[in-house]
Amino acid sequence: MTRFALIFWALLNSLAAASPTFAQDAAEDWDLTVDPARELTLASLDFGGNALALRCQAGVLDLLLTGTPVSTEDFRIVRVTAGAISEERQSWQTHAGMPVLSASEPERLARQLRAGGDLDLRIEPATPGERAMRLRLTTPPSAASVDRVLSACGASLTDDWDLLPRVSSRNLVWEHQALPEYPVVAAMRGIPLASVRLACIVPADGRLNECRVLSETPERLGFGRSALVAARNSRVALPENDPGLVGKVVVYTMRYRAPE
C-alpha cells in the first residue's frame, strides 16, 4: 500500500482531524492502490490538508473527502462545481466523529474528474456561527486510475444522466409517498435502522421513474430493492404552470426503522 493510502486509512481509523486548505496545485497523478485481499481498489490524491479518494470496496463505490468539519448531522450541504456540474447543491454524507464526507453521487462526480481540472466545493455552515469552508482542489488530467476504480465496481465510464439537472428534495411536495416494506431478512437478523439513497427522474405525471439506488446502509439485505418499489409507487405534486421539476433528477434518502 502506498504511503498516501496509509495516511488516508489512518485518518479514517483514528478519527484524526486535518486542517482545511483553500487552494492547491495540481497533483502529478491519482495514486492507485489495489488490495485483492480486502476487495479494495483506491485512487487517491493528497492535497496536504485534504485528501480525495475514489474507493471501490466489496463492490461499493465511495468518493471521500477528508479534512472537513466533524459534524453531528447525517448530511452536510455542499455546493459543487466540476466538469459539467456547476454550482450544484448536494447533500454529502458525514462519518460520525471523523473529518470525512462522502459525495452524494460518487459515480457521477468521479466521471467529471476523469479529464482533470478544478473541483470547487463550498461546505455550507451547519450551525450558527460556523463559517462556510471553500475548497479548490485541482485534479490531474489522467483517467486511468479513476477508470480502474469505476470498472472495479462495475460503474459505467459515461452516463447521459450526468448532464441532467438536479433538484433538491427540499423543493418537492409529495402527493403520495409510499411506505417501503421492511425486508424480511433484515428483520430476522435484528437490523434496527437502515437508509437508502435514491435518484429518480421526475416525469410530467409526477410519478417517479427510472429510479436508481446510489447507496444503501447496511448493504445486501434487501433495503435497496424495497426502496425502489416504494419510489416507483410514489408521486410528487407538480405546481400549476411550473414545469421546472419535470425531467430533473431528485436525490433523496429513504430511512427505515425496524417494526416493533
With 70 as the cut, is the pLDDT of residue 25 above it?
A: no
Instruction: Give residue 11's pLDDT band: very low, low, confident or very high (50, 70, 90).
Output: very low
pTM of the entire structure? 0.81
Specify the DSSP class assigned to residue 207.
Answer: B
Q: What mean pLDDT is predicted for residues 201-225?
A: 91
Average pLDDT, the chain: 86
- CATH fold, domain 3-159, is Immunoglobulin-like (2.60.40)
Domain positions in the chain: 3-159, 166-257
Task: Write out pLDDT tens, residues 153-164.
Answer: 999 999 999 999
Q: pLDDT value at position 7? A: 45
The model's confidence at residue 170, banded by pLDDT at 50, 70 and 90, is confident
Query: According to the model, what pLDDT value does residue 73 have?
Result: 87
Q: In this predicted structure, what is the pLDDT of residue 108?
A: 96
- Name the fold adopted by 166-257: TolA/TonB C-terminal domain (3.30.2420)
What is the mean predicted confidence (pLDDT) over 221-229?
96
Pairing of strands 166-168, 249-257: parallel
